Chains A and B, each alone.
Chain A
Amino acid sequence: MDKSILVLDKGTRCTAWNYSGERLVAGLIDGSFAIYDSTDPASSNLTCTHRFKAHNCSIVKVVWAPPEYGDAVACITEDGNLSLWEEVVDDTEGPHWKMCKCFDRNTSQVLDVQFGYGQTCLKLVAAYSDGQVKIHELLDTLELEKWQLQAEFQNVIDLVSKFGNVSCLSASISWNPERIEVRQSSFVLGFNSNTPSLNSAKVWEFDLDHQRWLPVAELSLPEDKDDQVSSVAWAPNIGRPYELIAVATQKGISIWQLGSNPDHDGRLSVHRVALLSAHDNEVWEMEWDMSGMTLATTGSDGVVRLWQSNLNGAWHEQAVLAPPS
């Protein structure tokens, strides 16, 4: 069953649903935010409850913070700025949105940003156009104003090498959605850049003993290492003995299995279980469902595709959702 639930304002560039699917934030071309809320619990009637100008240039990406930190979004603008906005009520005013943080940057632009889940302190990872990855940590659980830079590195397996003159068009980050706090936090990251060794998707894990981030796996076949990555998505794991990560390059969508036990080098075993060709090989977005069984993807062909493994472990396209042409 399909139904249209909302007509978005003209000039909407990006949208994001909050954790419960009851709020939608839209970023507009004029630098405004529009917030849509469902009118009742369980209702799919949405109304615009806030609309305000946040920036002077177009908003290109919005991401919700985990709900245990409030109703907050991180936002990337077209000129590469990263800021945090939060809905609050204070003594003088009812619910309103305020900017709580604008992250400093040098000349490079922020390409993607994602919040980590379930850690005792909130982490935010941002990928920059110069190939840098920065991880910020929230200092105070109740105030989204105070952050500190926890780490900064490039997306390379060999930690020693440094690349200058890097120019990245896009980046994609996906945290391990595991919420149990005892587990090490980890995420996967891939670039679309002019520097081959930065591109391939790599899994980063925080090494508690040495307080540093380490690359624990590289999700590409030897012959595909230079492929530019357009999107990555880490599947929720409800009890599989391995992790599933989808990586999209111009060659298609690869589904990777990631083992859980590190070898003596601290690397995790990886195994590509499928290469799926779709969307004219230009993938925009990928998202796993709540059980990690179905992958939804969109791309430049303008349709939504749903992918699933059958009982024999073979991945295939299950359905195509096509807007009217």
Chain B
Amino acid sequence: MEHNPPQVHKFPQDSYVDALRWLPQLSTFSRHVLLASYDSETSTPSLQTLTFSPSETAPSLTPQASAPAPSRITSLKISPSPLSPSRALIASATFSGSLLFLSADLINGSLDLEFSLPELGFHSGPVSAIDLNDSGSECVSVGEDGCVNLVSLSVSKGFRRVYDSKGLVSYSSVKWASPVEFVTGAFGFGLHWWDQRKPGGPVALFKDDWTKGSASGIVHSIDIHSSRKHTCVAGGSSGVVFAWDIRRPKQPVMLSGVGIGNAPAYSAVESDIWEVHYDNYTHSSKMSSSSSSTILPAMICSEDGILAVIEQGEEPTELLAEPCAINNFDIDRENPSDVICSLEWESLAILTRRRA
């Protein structure tokens, strides 16, 4: 597969892309993408859906619908809403500390605000990250202010404060592990495991023990694979990617990182890892060889412009090496061969991977 480079198409935007996601797929020919962008000339943030028409030679990306945002988007999540795939539920957190829920009608091309949580009393300062659970009924949010909030989307739309660290901890990322458990990432490469059945604080703490002195960092992104809910993979400062198994909390597995204790020989990047997702595509192609104890392959994007797949004990596979940062990416759930990523220099890239 290493010898079969992906097909890459770039789409220059006239605005900065703060976040992006693939939307659920309606048919093979029409795909949709959700963008949170920021127009620097008019200082206006917005959300928009785009239609992607794949083609070998001239793929196109055309705007479909858009909705204004009160502030820049810091985190964007989508729930596929299995009952009506043409209407996707979108959660987006803002820089000013509010949370918006929108629905995208992909057939009629509309993007509507369903309800929002105003900044006041929700989070003070930016919401660092959010995550929607699989059923789309709950959304967990964390902030620099040290609050962990749980928003219910079912009947009574409102939020409940799970925890308030009173500013003693600043959270940077969050991910659901199960319907009642989630993991948060924080400053100092810390991971906290929360279980709603045991309120009052995290049930398990992970603190790196490999950093020396000032080499500590921040967890920017966490992912948990639906088939292995006890293991999370986290990416952050200094190119660090590690896996943490709640059953062996003292033994993180380093997947990448520079100049750090027992870091593996292979390091894809030296700078911040902005986003990490398990990569089902690489996984499925190697299904037979992987045992249940190895960490599943994961894709990362980085400040120094690398989009790569990292696997335990193997050299990373570089998919893209750009002269500018790759701020976020998303792997299409239905078509895991397709990846969309946003480049710092106001453009998008869509990659299609091909089997050798």
Contact = CB atoms under 8 A, between A and B. Distances in A.
A222 interface: no
B347 interface: no
Given A91-B166, A94-B124, A42 B95 contact: no
Interface string A32-56: 0000000111111100000000000
Contact of B95 (A40, A44, A45): A40
B71 A40 contact: yes
Interface in A81-96: 89, 91, 94
Given A39-B43, A41-B72, 16 more contacts: A39-B71, A39-B96, A40-B38, A40-B43, A40-B45, A40-B72, A40-B95, A40-B96, A41-B95, A42-B38, A42-B43, A43-B43, A45-B43, A89-B124, A91-B166, A94-B124
Interface string B142-166: 0000000000000000000000001
9 contacts: A39-B96, A40-B38, A40-B71, A40-B72, A42-B40, A45-B43, A89-B124, A91-B166, A94-B124
Secondary structure dominating the interface of A = loop
Interface of B: 38, 40, 43, 45, 71-72, 95-96, 124, 166
Contacts of A45: 43
Contacts of B45: 40
B249 to A, nearest CB: 32
Nearest to B124: A94
Given A39-B96, A91-B166, A44 B43 contact: yes
A65 B166 CA distance: 27
Interface residues of A, number: 10
Nearest to A39: B71
Interface of A: 39-45, 89, 91, 94
Contacts of A43: 43
Contacts of A41: 72, 95
Contacts of B43: 39-40, 42-45
A41 B45 CA distance: 11
Contacts of B38: 40, 42
A227 to B, nearest CB: 45
Q: 9 smallest A-B Cβ distances: which pairs? A: A43-B43, A40-B72, A45-B43, A44-B43, A40-B95, A40-B71, A42-B40, A94-B124, A39-B71
Nearest to B73: A40
Contacts of B40: 42
Nearest to A5: B43
Nearest to B45: A40
A44 B44 CA distance: 10
B235 to A, nearest CB: 22
A87 to B, nearest CB: 13
Contacts of A42: 38, 40, 43
Contacts of B71: 39-40
